[in-house]
Amino acid sequence: MHSAATPLLLIRRHRPLCLAFLAVAAISLSGCSRLKPKSSEKYLYVTAKSTFLRDRIAAVSNRTGNVSNGQRVQILEQNRRFYRVKTDKGEVGWIDERAIAPGSVADAFDPRLR
């Protein structure tokens, strides 16, 4: 009687073919952008000469940090016309949208690029 070949026996017999298939699959999937983690960090740059970060959006608030022109801040949250940001020094607070701009706008005003 001839017994049916088991999947393990088939894999052993066709090992070079299986390895080639796995190599091709790995190479083709490595270029797939859907599988790469997207950076969720977004940055803006301070355009005001100098301003401070607030602990909350209110007429009366505490200062949590200072930022100055050209300084990069990471966006953590957005609420109407204010952004909750984090500086490279770790200071976190709210800033008015009129005091910051995206990198493309900040680069246009950087005198070192002229």
47: nearest Cα among 107, 94, 99, 104: 99
The β-bridge partners of 74 are: 43, 86
CA dist., res. 101 & res. 65, Å (int)? 18
Task: Tell me the per-residue pLDDT of 36-75, one tens digit each, with 9 for 90 and over.
Answer: 455 567 999 999 999 999 999 998 999 999 999 999 999 9
| CB proximity list for 108: less than 8 A, separation 6 or greater | none
Task: Tell me the per-residue pLDDT of 97-111, one tens digit each, with 9 for 90 and over.
Answer: 999 998 777 566 665
Report the CATH number that the domain containing residue 104 is assigned in CATH: 2.30.30.40
Domain count along the chain: 1
Q: Looking at the domain assignment, is residue 10 inside a domain?
A: no
Q: Which domain holds residue 89?
A: 43-113
3-state DSSP percent of the chain in helix, strand and coil, to 5: 35, 30, 35
Q: Looking at the domain assignment, is residue 96 inside a domain?
A: yes
